[in-house]
Amino acid sequence: MTARIIDGKALSDSIKADVAQRVEALRGRGIVPGLAVVLVGGDPASQVYVRNKAAACEKAGLHSQVIRLDADITQQQLLDVVQQLNQDPAVHGILVQLPLPKHLDSAQVIEAIAADKDVDGFHVSNAGLLMTGRPLFQPCTPYGIMKMLESEGVDLWGAEAVVVGASNIVGKPMAMLMLAKGATVTLCNSKTRDLGAQTRRADVLVVATGKPDMITGDMIKPGAVVIDVGINRKADGKLTGDVEFASASKVAGAITPVPGGVGPMTIAMLLVNTIEAAERAAQAQAAP
Ligand code: NDP
C-alpha cells in the first residue's frame, strides 16, 4: 500500500485565495488589514519564517511590517514595542517570532500582546478560550492541521487520535481541537513509555517533536492518517520531518510530506487569523 499524499501547498493556496478576497472586501471599505511581526536577533531559521510570512501577507494584499530588533534589546524595550503595536489601529495582528534570545522572558512578552491582536493564539487568555471550547484565535499550526483533516474528509468523531509532542504551540492545542471534534485523544511526550504501543492505536497520528524521522512505519496503524509537523534540517541541507516518510508511507492511508505539508498551512492560517482580527476590528468600529 502507498499512502495518499496530503498536499498542504495546494490547500494553503486555496485558503490564501479566499483570504485575498476578504482583504479586497475590507479594502473596499477603506480598511487595510495589517500584521506586525517582531523579530529579535538574527536566528537564521526565524529570519526565513518571518520572510515567508511577510511575503504571504503582501501576496494576499495584507499590509505587513517586520520590526527587527537587536539581539541585546532589554525586556522593557521589547515590551514597549509590543505596547506601541497594541495601540496602533493600523495593526490588527501582532506576532513575536519565537524563540527569543535567552535573556528575554517570552511568556511575559506574549502576555503583553493584546489578546484580540494575538494572531498566533499563544496568549494565556486565548489558550484558555481554546481549552474551554470558545476559541478566539486558534494557533496556526494545529488550526491548519484541522483544515487538512477536514479537506481529507477525516471524521474525528469517536476516532483514536494520538499526538506525539506536547508543546504549548503545537501538541497541546492540537489535542484540544481534535477533542472538540469528538476524538479520543492521547497526548504523548518524551516520558511516554512504549511510544509505539500508543502510536499504533492511532487512526489519526500527529507528530510534533523536532526529532528527525523518529516515527517509523512499524509504529503506524495500517491506513492511518499521519500528519508530520516536524521541520528538521539534515546535514545535506535538505528538510525532513519527524516521521520517516519512506517506511511510513507504505503503511499509512494518507500522509503529509515535508516540505509541502503542514508548513504552508501554518502560514495560510496566520493570514486567516489576521483577516479575522481585522474584520472584528472593523465590525467593532462600525457598531453604534
Ligand atoms: P518543542 O521542542 O517545544 O516540543 C517538543 C515536544 O516533543 C515536547 O512535548 C517533548 O516532550 C516531545 N518529545 C521530544 N522527544 C520526544 C520523544 N522521543 N518521544 C515523544 N515525545 C517527544 O517543539 P515544537 O512543538 O515547538 O515543535 C516540534 C517540531 O515541529 C519542530 O521540528 C518544529 O520545527 C516543528 N514546527 C513546525 C511548524 C510548521 O509550521 N510545520 C510549526 C511549529 C513547529 P517533553 O514535553 O517531555 O519535553
pLDDT in tens, 93-121: 999 999 999 999 999 999 999 999 999 99
Ligand 1, residues 189, 193, 205, 258: which to mutate, most atoms within 8 A of Cβ? 189
Q: Ligand 1 centre from 209 Cα, in Å?
A: 3
Confirm whether 16 is a catalytic residue.
Answer: no
Residue 148 lies in a domain: yes
Which strand (E) or helix (H) includes residue 22? helix 8-28
* CB of 227 closer than 8 Å to CB of 253: no
Q: Ligand 1 centre from 181 Cα, in Å?
A: 23
pTM for this one? 0.98
> What's the CA gap between 164 and 174, in Å, rounded?
10
The pairing of strands 239-240 and 204-207 is: unpaired
Q: For residue 37, what is the domain's CATH number?
A: 3.40.50.10860
Residue 128 lies in a domain: no
Residue 5 lies in a domain: no
Number of domains composing the chain: 2
pLDDT in tens, 6-52: 999 999 999 999 999 999 999 999 999 999 999 999 999 999 999 99
- Residue 98 sits in the same domain as residue 166: no
Angle at 213 between CA 207 and CA 215, to 5 degrees: 50
Q: Is residue 217 packed enough to be buried (19+ CB in 10 Å), middle (13-18) or exposed (0-12)?
A: middle
Q: Ligand 1 centre from 165 Cα, in Å?
A: 5
Ligand 1 neighbours (beta carbon < 6 A):
141, 164-167, 169-171, 188-192, 195, 208-211, 214, 229-232, 262-263, 266
Q: Running along the chain, 288 residues long, what does each successive block of 10 average in pLDDT?
A: 94 98 97 98 94 97 97 98 98 98 98 98 98 97 98 98 98 98 98 98 98 98 98 93 98 98 98 98 89
From the CB of residue 12, how many other CB atoms can be counted at a distance below 10 Å?
A: 25
Residue 2 lies in a domain: no
- Residue 164 sits in the same domain as residue 258: yes
Expressed as residue numbers, the domain containing 187 is 140-263
Determine the pLDDT at residue 286. 87
Residue 41 lies in a domain: yes
Q: At what angle do helices 262-286 and 140-151 cross, to 10 degrees?
A: 110
- Residue 154 sits in the same domain as residue 224: yes
Q: For residue 255, what is the domain's CATH number?
A: 3.40.50.720
Percent of the chain as helix, strand, coil, to the nearest 5: 45, 15, 40
- The whole-angstrom distance between residue 92's C-alpha and the CA centroid of its chain comes to 18
Confirm whether 53 is a catalytic residue.
Answer: yes
User: Does residue 259 have a cis peptide bond before it, meaning omega lies within 30 degrees of 0?
Assistant: yes
Confirm whether 9 is a catalytic residue.
Answer: no
